[in-house]
Structure 1
Amino acid sequence: MQLRRNNWHVYRPLVTTRTAPVEVARSKTDDNVIASDNEAIRLPATGPESSYSRFLLDQLALPAVSVPEARTDPTSRLSAVSMTDWLGYCIVTGDELDSDVFGHKDRFKNQKRRWIFELAYGYYDVELAALIASRRGVELRLDSLDREAEVIRRFLEGTPFSDETAIRTAIAQRQQALKSMEQQQRTVAAETVDAAEVGDLRSSVLDHRKIQDTLQADEARLTTQLTDLQELKRQLISQSARLTRAIVADEWLVDFDFVVCPRCGNGIEPNRAESGHCYLCLKPENSTTSREALLSEQDRVISQVSETDRVMELRQSALDKTKANVEANKVTLHRLAAELDQRTAAFVSDRAAVIRAQARDIATVSADIEKFHEYAQLVARHSDQDQIRRKLEEEREELSHAIEGREANQHEADQNLEALEKRILEYLERLHIPQLADLLTVRINRTTFLPEVSGRSFDELSSQGLKTLVNVAHALAHHTVAIDRGLPIPGLLVLDGISANAGHEGFDRDRIGDMYRLLIEVGNEYEEHLQLIAVDNDIPAAVIDEVRDSIILELSQQDRLIRLASRTPDDKLGV
């Protein structure tokens, strides 16, 4: 595939999945290719970024932009313009050639058709659209500021706190009053402590609580020690039992008398050896102190068990005494706490009205301070709005100047459109269409961007054959004007079923011949920039003889598989 002056190999699976991978690679025979560009690129079929559609747009230098979905609201959600939308101006199918102008009867296709027209001819400036959207955003922010300012004004209207200085003064006064009230509250609390021996009772309660904490800590410590001593006694008793088993085992495992030799079975006499020697092996007997050591160790362990019992008795006695002190102190503490509560309740009862009044006044003043802080924030925001408004108005003014400067360039877009109208008229004259009025005229509607011939819209044309002629001239004019004036339209035009709605004799045959002659002439004139492909099923014999040299591929009902053409790849016109 050739894109502008670059050749590419493209592999695309025959599926309609949006994420289907498409592989593209620069052709090794391309003069512009460098060694590092030979590797294939794998891209998803569609998507706003890094897709096959975006790849084609970049290679053909077509604008890759997003346009508002609502044409009357530049701030509405944006929709990306894809390569498929641009190809809407390049492929005219057989069922549309005599009825639609690039699918204008389909609401969705017609919306993108109009955007493509504005992009190609300069009526839709991407930067201008961004400026308009920005100005609209500024205007919306100004409207929001006006509504907020009106709400604040009505809220503060009729109050003595519309001035920030008055609010700050009121806050300072109430903060001072709050400090005085809190001091009075602390004084009443101090009087409560000092009145009716409450202070002494309170001190006694605190002292007994400290004593209670100390006694409970001692109780916990003694309990832990008793537990440790019991574990120690258990270990000592277990060790003493093991020592007893070892002493008994030493006596019974060593003192054996042999009657026969354990090796050969012959009888053994005890007097066969000297005194102090073993009568079995005839060697001197070893004296061992293991038994005496075990007995000594067992005595020491038993002594430790007795000592542990004495220590446990002392700890148990201390624990019982501590528990008794805990219970006694708990009773005293309960009595003192009850007496303190009684005397405090009596004092508070006497001062209940004063205490309630103080609490109510403190709550009221605190609420006032919070309310005045909110007033201050509203007033400050109202003051800041003036500065914000000035900045927004300056920004709006700058955007308006920029928009006026960009709109001044619309004159060039008008010139492009006038050139299109002249080119369509030229092609229609060469096609010798029937005269619809005294004077043949062509106009592009500035709202719908559809052609109007002699004052008639495309849908009002009298026959399908006439619509076909207008459609061919209209589509061809778009591409030739784009080439002449450097407008971004892909240099490809496919027309399907040119002679589908025409006869083979007389006027109809002549018009078919006129269309093919026009296509051939335009193809030869713009062969370096435009590839024209005309697909037709029923061309008159006289016309076939005339365009024989431009036919690239012929297919029949028995041979409908598209195959490689016999002509060279440089041919720009195919029939």
Structure 2
Amino acid sequence: MAVHLRIVALTVTTAEAEQTYRFDRPATVITGPIGTGKSSLLMLFKHALGGSAMLTPAVRDHVLSVQAEVVAGDERVVLRRTIEGDTADTVDLLDPHSLALERTLPLRASEGVTTLSDHLLDALGFPREQIAARREGAARPQNLTFNDLYAYAYLQAREIDRQVVGHLDSWFETKRRELFRLMFGLTDSALMELKRTRNQLLDTLKARTAEHDNVSSFLAASDPRSDDELRAELTQLRDSLERASSALASLRSELQEQTAADTAVRDELQNAIRAARQTEEEVSAAADLVEARHAVVAQVQLDLSRLARSVTAIDQLSPFEFVVCPRCMQSLADRVVEDGHCLVCLQPDPVEADIDPAAIEETRTALQQQLEEAQRIQQSDEAHLQTVQERSQQLSFAVTSLRRELDAQTRDAVAPRFDAIAEASSRVTSLKASIDAITQLRESWARVRTIDADIRS
């Protein structure tokens, strides 16, 4: 397909004036001496179309904006772009008739945003394609943009002197070829998709080949045995495992038959152990109870002793009149005390009923009865504790005797079989570990075969 792109007019705006240059005739020739602005005019075209133009200092100092009227395919487009400032990274799309602002298009691509390049390529009917390219040995698809296409419409004079359409720039070589093929219908989207797919497959092939080499090298270094040797050894190990498992089952069966004869002794031993444990718990509970009884008796005895000391103090001290403080030995003769109050502590004197001898005797009698009752219960609990301790000793002796009897019966028949069972179990475990190790190695070899099949595919 041929791409139709024509620049119709260019308007240059400065602070003092605005000048429009038209190019709507079949051909336009721009002539003039060096330094009159021929290249600057063409660079302003490129700037208006979103390209990175080499603007002279005179243009940057005096030109405010540039406006281009372009025919792209069947669409007439008017574009306006400032020379300096933040808005230089965007281009205004104007209505061709009223020159009213329709929308502002960014120059740099971002997710979900239509750029000026996208708009111009759509207007030209030119496909937005990604070409198959490689960078640093890996597939890196590149987008074809309007700026790449513009290289076929305009070259700087110095570039014309040395190359055509950037054919000396290695970085542009791939894009240059694909753009040429697209412009003249020598390729299409399906073929370009196949090229991108080929690049991806080359990357996958490279990665799988490296993986195949790495795994094969690791297996060769870690274990020199081949897959066939591992398969044969695995078969032998499984046969050995089957024989070892049969021998272990046989030993366990013999042990079960032998131990069945000792069931009665074992049951009796278990019952004796259970009864001994219960008796030990009873001994512990009885000891705690006796200790609590001791505490109760001691408390009642303490209460009786306190009562006796109180009565003695009242009897001994009531006849005396204190003339000095019994604590600090200061004189109490000049102390003013109300009638009916204690000269020492200044509290009201006790009423006769508070120190009734009959009440004191009644309290002493009650405490004495409590003491006798507590001592009687204590003696009963101590007797129970002694009985339980004796029964615990008897059961412990019975457990020891039954264990000796069971050991004597099983020493010659069971113990040797236990050793044989332990040895057979160890043999089975070792064989299983060896089988697991070989199985993992064979899985690695299977992975190598799968990778090799992927590479061939």
TM-score band (shorter)? 0.3 to 0.5
TM-score (norm 1): 0.35
Give the structure, 1 or 2, with the largest relative contact order (CA under 8 Å, sep 6 or more): 1
TM-score (norm 2): 0.43
